[in-house]
Structure 1
Amino acid sequence: MTGHLGYIGTVLAPRLLERGHEVIGLDSALFVGCAFRPNPAEIPSLGDDVRDFVARADAVERLRGMDAVIHLAALSNDPLGDYRPGLTEEINAEASIALARLAKQAGVPRFAFASSCSNYGASGYGFIDESGELNPVTAYGFSKVHAETGISVLADEDFSPTFLRASTAYGLSPHLRLDLVVNNLTAWACTTGEVHLLSDGSPWRPIVHVEDIAAAYIAVIEAERADVHEQIFNIGQTTENYQIREIAELVRDIVPGSRIGFSEGASPDVRNYRVDCNYIARKLHGFKPQWTCRRGIEQLFDAFHTDGLTLEEFEGPRFKRIAWMKKRIDEGAFDPDLMPARQLADA
């Protein structure tokens, strides 16, 4: 599993172990230090940056004998993607395709790729399914589309890629993110009393709890090959599409004493899409999502209240990926290309 130390990886890894799978990680540790709660699973690692791994002469041998690769590692949201679009393409697309090619050479039969519903971008107000037109509007979205295209051509009778287009994630994770819409609005309410909207709240978003994302990966790698071979799945529930203002209203109703507020000049967000998730429900009976937005907000409110999340922590870099990345670069732990300093010293 690449990205095993990330927001999704720290939820997925322990669940795989609980189900009897042996898990080996690969992670640059860029976001180590962002922990909200202790990581429940320590697993062995093949190395760090995926770009470094795919350049290794022994990469194929290191992958040989694996039953599946779950590829989560990426610059994982629009602000990170926009930091340097060329770097986003290099990590999210080029390195992903190279990893899939090496996995195929090593005889790894399954490759589960973390794609995104951001691929749909500005798709309007109708529900869009996996056959819908892709219309990414950010560097992150474009990189995921390019990765899907490059990996899909590798599919054959021996190599079976599956593409998991996750809805916008939310929910509690050991490596918490507060730059995701549900998490962000709940944290605003808990630390300031205001559910602070940066847009006018009109855009639609599909959302999915991080634990349900983990459940989707488990369902994919444990499914019969015929059910997942070269398949694309929207990850989430069709009923879990919300306008941003609807999410804000739920937060207001759950966090006592909170109110909704708008940033000055708040305007519509160009990203607007509603996603149909019925295909995975029909195809993969092992995937049974458990979470709703309301229940997820209640979980977050309870955690933030119990752990005493402060405004200083919320506004600081620890739980916001772009801010933490810039902090690590400023500290010299990573270079501007996000290569770990240790690698630079070893070069």
Structure 2
Amino acid sequence: MLAPRLLERAHEVVGLDSDLFAECTFSGAIPNIASIGQDVRSFVLEPDAIDRLRGFDAVIHLAGLSNDPLGDYRPGLTQEINTGASVDLARLAKAAGVSRFVYASSCSNYGASDDNFITEDGALNPVTPYGVSKVESEKGILALADETFSPTFLRASTAYGLSPRLRFDLVVNNLTAWATTTGDVHLKSDGSPWRPIVHVEDIALAYIASVEAPREDVHCEVFNVGQTSENYQIREIAEIVRDVVPGSKIAFADDASPDLRNYRVDCNYIARRLHAFKPQWTCRRGVEQLFAAFTSSGLNVEQFEGPRFKRIAHIQQRIREGSLNEDLFPVQQFAVA
């Protein structure tokens, strides 16, 4: 969602992506941009990595294991990818003369909290390997900052919304898919935890605003990405889905229980500091968008609960099939004549 918008604004874009999820396109086109088809872990070990980074004005670092289930799969691997390789990439970028480094952090950093709104200065209390990896990455990258190297940290709220590489392991997407295909808004927790949410298109806008802003507005800054008004208890999201999807009703899984992750996030700082960031989406609009897309595509339970659109399930399937090894590196396939 980000690359086409950067191209529209006349930026030159090069990707660095191992493309673990190349077979997971839901709809729409994946942008055709120049790409280094490589895992960030192997890239940072290349003897010419610094030379390959020379000439870039900015690195927008999105690469990593992207959520708690993937982070829990092998916590050591999460640390290696999300923290070690991220800090190494930042160090190499600095050595290559790249002046901006925008890092994809997460509101998961706040972890288990009370019901008060958390600002960027709030206590970090990650409760999962994924959250821990993001906190440690921020610390390691921040330590590299100086007059030539300017990092910015975007702590995104929980993402949702339609995109080519749609994920169904995200709460708004998941609840809307259940309601559309079964008539049940299927809650797997008791619905009490608070969660900030943000549409994937608005996340892309935040990266653009950060990379285009004057240095003094973003140097060593941390931003909660979203809107303060877009904090919901999970059951409130379920009620919005129920109201949008005709005939649906709220249902709880048999083992529904409280979720340790509970946080409400104050997003007023990014609105004051980055005037170019103008988020457009609300939960209701996003659910309406998803419901229309799911209906027109004929989505069924087997599709969205299967391994194609859930990140951990897809990874596990690829390991079973032999196209990935246990360390998530691709396995070379040879045809036998």
Question: How many positions carry a matched residue from both structures?
Answer: 334
Aligned counterpart for 1:141 among listed residues 131, 144, 151: 131
Aligned counterpart for 1:47 among listed residues 34, 37, 49: 37
Shift in Å, 1:307? 1.0
Shift in Å, 1:314? 1.4
Aligned position for 2:182: 192
SS at match of 1:112: strand
Aligned counterpart for 2:74 among listed residues 71, 84, 105: 84
For the pair 1:236 / 2:219, whether they are aligned, the reply is no
Aligned position for 1:214: 204
Distance of 2:104 and 2:333 partners within structure 1 = 26
For the pair 1:124 / 2:114, whether they are aligned, the reply is yes
Q: Give the letter for the 1:70 counterpart.
A: I
Aligned position for 1:16: 6
For the pair 1:265 / 2:255, whether they are aligned, the reply is yes
Distance of 1:243 and 1:312 partners within structure 2 = 27
Alignment of 1:49-198 (within 5 A): 49-198=39-188
Output the TM-score relative to the length of structure 2.
Answer: 0.98
Distance of 1:157 and 1:212 partners within structure 2 = 30
Aligned position for 1:5: none
Distance of 2:259 and 2:125 partners within structure 1 = 15
Query: Residue 14 of structure 1 contacts residue 40 of structure 1 at CA under 8 Å; is this kept in 2?
Result: no
CA distances 1:304-335 after superposition (whole Å, capped 9, x unpaired): 01111111101211110000000111111111
Over aligned residue pairs, what C-alpha RMSD do you find?
A: 1.1
Shift in Å, 1:343? 10
Query: Residue 19 of structure 2 contacts residue 37 of structure 2 at CA under 8 Å; is this kept in 1?
Result: no
Aligned position for 1:335: 325
For the pair 1:315 / 2:315, whether they are aligned, the reply is no
Distance of 1:38 and 1:333 partners within structure 2 = 25
Unmatched 5+ residue regions in structure 2? none
Aligned counterpart for 2:271 among listed residues 281, 288, 295: 281
Distance of 2:76 and 2:46 partners within structure 1 = 22
Shift in Å, 1:342? 3.6
Distance of 2:233 and 2:316 partners within structure 1 = 31
CA distances 1:42-71 after superposition (whole Å, capped 9, x unpaired): 111123100010000000000000010000
Unmatched 5+ residue regions in structure 1? 1-10
Q: Give the letter for the 2:84 counterpart.
A: E
Distance of 2:45 and 2:29 partners within structure 1 = 29
SS at match of 1:25: strand
